[in-house]
Amino acid sequence: MTANVHSLRQRQQIREVFGAVSPRLKDVEAFLERELEHALPLVGKVAGYVLGSGGKRIRPALVLLISKMLGYTGERDIRYAAVVELIHSATLIHDDIIDGSDLRRGRPTANRKWGNQTTVLVGDWLYTRTMDLSLELGDVQIMRVLTAATLQMIEGEILADQVRRRLDLDETTYMDITRRKTAELFAAACALPALFQPSTLHLTDRLAAFGRNIGLCFQLIDDALDFTSSRSELGKPVMADLREGRITLPMILLLPRLGQDRRRRIEEVVATGEFASISEREILEMVTTSGVLTDVYRRAADYADEAVALTEQFPKGAERDALTRVAALLLGRRS
């Protein structure tokens, strides 16, 4: 029940923050639907399943909100909001294959439902099609931002795969991976609207920095929630990261604070993917009582603060205010 209340409250907050762009978000959905209708039936089915899995559309909403803040009145915001969501979906599809994940947002993953073969190809199709969607308007600069972000995401996933099950993963490497895997697409989503009009080009880097900061905040909260949330809130098993051998910031900060025995028992979880040597409850207690979670939230708050500070250089108004609330919302998120 708690899960539903959290989830409902959060969805409501998201709706409020992005309220000004909700009619345009519907246009984005229509754009995505049209796009999938024209794809091969199997591609449409698999991609539709992933796109329809209850994602909160935060990235597209950011594209729309920032476009509005910059006084953009054309149609590119809808197209590129859709493109960013398609890139995000392609990444999720391939990441779930890489991680061998069975569940996402409470439903079987696409690879679980259609097999790795089909889903690799659907991911490929989505990546390539997004390029095509940008090319239709000849937006070279926009495409460069998108391909650069996509390359960073893929490289982030490659690096993450290389350090899987490595308990000696250091914080700097971890933050580099997190920036690439999560923050660069947020950065791209926020920077793109500046490229829609020559008059806003000078805001590109600042908007990217804003996006990068909320992206880092978003991911650190995600890492913490993987420990503290319930299965029903997460829509996947608790401590899925640890199960799949992904060492995240809470664990990186916790390990040096542990004695050899406990460390060894956690090593076993990471090696086997099972909580035989130590229970989830014990691990949760450790990250909570050790102060590690507080540290993680503090860092996430620092990124959110940095993002909010950056908004001071954006055009004043309701949209800018909404952007500062987005940062607070991502920080306060419970699922």
Near a second copy by CB under 8 A: residue from 33, 124, 267, 295: 124
Contact segment (CB under 8 A) with a second copy among 133-141, 187-195, 230-238, 296-304 equals: 133-141
94 binds a second copy (CB under 8 A): yes
Count of residues of this chain found to bind a second copy when the rule CB under 8 A is applied: 36
Q: Which stretch binds a second copy (CB under 8 A): 54-62, 117-125, 253-261, 273-281?
A: 117-125
8: contact with a second copy by CB under 8 A:
no
**Considering only residues 123, 211, 215, 250, which one is a binding residue for a second copy as defined by CB under 8 A?**
123
The β-bridge partners of 104 are 107
Binding test (CB under 8 A) with a second copy, winner from 129, 179, 212, 246: 129
- CB-based contacts of 49: which residues, under 8 Å, 6+ apart? 110, 113
Smallest distance, a second copy to C-beta of residue 189, A: 17
Provide CB contacts within 8 A for 213, sequence distance 6+: 183, 303, 304, 306, 307, 310, 327
Nearer to a second copy, 80 or 127 (CB): 127
Query: Which span sits near a second copy by CB under 8 A: 123-131, 189-197, 256-264, 312-320?
Result: 123-131
Helix H or strand E encompassing 287: helix 280-289
Q: Counting contacts by CB under 8 A, is residue 163 touching a second copy?
A: no
CA 102 to CA 332: how far, in whole Å? 27
Going along the chain, which residue ranges are E strands?
A: 103-104, 107-108
In angstroms, rounded to a whole number, what is the distance separating the alpha carbons of residues 321 and 323? 5
Q: How many of the other CB atoms lie within 10 Å of CB of 227?
A: 23
Chosen residue from 35, 77, 157, 241 binding a second copy by CB under 8 A: 157
For a second copy, the binding residues in 234-253 under the rule CB under 8 A are none
Cα torsion 9, 11, 16, 17 to 10°: value is 110
Q: Which of 5, 8, 30, 148 binds a second copy (CB under 8 A)?
A: 148
How many whole angstroms separate alpha carbon 268 and alpha carbon 110?
Answer: 29
Compute the least distance from the CB of residue 215 to a second copy, in Å. 19
CB of 18 to a second copy, least distance (A): 29
30 binds a second copy (CB under 8 A): no
Residues in the chain: 335
Q: Do the beta carbons of residue 308 and residue 262 sit within 8 Å?
A: no
Rounded CA-CA distance 183/67 in Å is 19
Q: Is 162 in the site for a second copy (CB under 8 A)?
A: yes
Binding piece for a second copy, criterion CB under 8 A, among 59-67, 110-118, 235-243, 258-266: 110-118
Return d(Cα 64, Cα 185) in angstroms, integer: 15
In the chain, the largest separation of any two C-alpha atoms, in whole Å, equals 61
> Contact positions toward a second copy, by CB under 8 A?
40, 42-43, 94, 97-98, 116-118, 120-125, 127-129, 131-132, 135, 138, 140, 143-144, 147-148, 150-151, 154-155, 157-159, 161-162
